[in-house]
């Protein structure tokens, strides 16, 4: 039973975190409410880096990098001379900085509410240490079980 749960957990983690990378999709935790209600604070947002700036249309949520290096996901409001004006859905004013080919990162293709909180929790040093200890204990238990079975004669049932 525990093995099945552990296997399901690792398969789900692989699907959510590793498989998207094969398709140049990254995940980012949403830390502000500027895109609510469409993208909620604490969501895990998936960014498609293959989508070029030329593919963006008004209304698309785009990811771009600010001067301070932070990643922002806001909605493209309009195009002006090959650059996009953006605004967070919950913000009253447009962003001052424009999205250009230099700071454009990709198109937001999916957001999963609250999953970002779980990701942030799992990234804590204490949680990683506990997971490592649990994995080592599980491995040791299986190893001892295998050794114990080798010492027993085969029984016909």
Radius of gyration of the chain (CA): 22
d(CA 119, CA 4): 22
Catalytic residue among 26, 32, 43, 111: 32
Q: Which two tokens stand for residue 2?
A: 């525990």
Dihedral of alpha carbons 55, 56, 58, 61, sign: positive
Active-site residue flag, 32: yes
Distance CA 29, CA 26 (A): 10
Residues known to be catalytic = 32
């Amino acid at each position: 039973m525990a093995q099945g749960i552990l296997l399901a957990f690792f398969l789900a983690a692989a699907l959510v975190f590793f498989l998207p990378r094969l398709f140049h999709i990254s995940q980012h935790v949403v830390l502000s409410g500027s895109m609510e209600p469409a993208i909620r604070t604490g969501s895990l947002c998936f960014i498609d880096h293959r989508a070029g700036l030329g593919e963006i249309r008004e209304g698309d949520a785009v990811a771009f990098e600010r001067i301070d290096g932070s990643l922002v996901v806001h909605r493209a409001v309009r195009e002006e001379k090959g650059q996009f004006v953006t605004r967070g859905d919950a913000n009253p004013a447009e962003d001052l900085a424009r999205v250009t080919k230099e700071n454009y990162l990709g198109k937001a293709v999916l957001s999963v509410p609250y999953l970002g909180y779980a990701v942030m929790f799992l990234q804590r040093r204490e949680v990683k240490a506990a997971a490592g200890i649990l994995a080592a204990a599980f491995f040791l238990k299986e190893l001892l079980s295998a050794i114990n079975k080798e010492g027993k004669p085969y029984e016909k049932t």
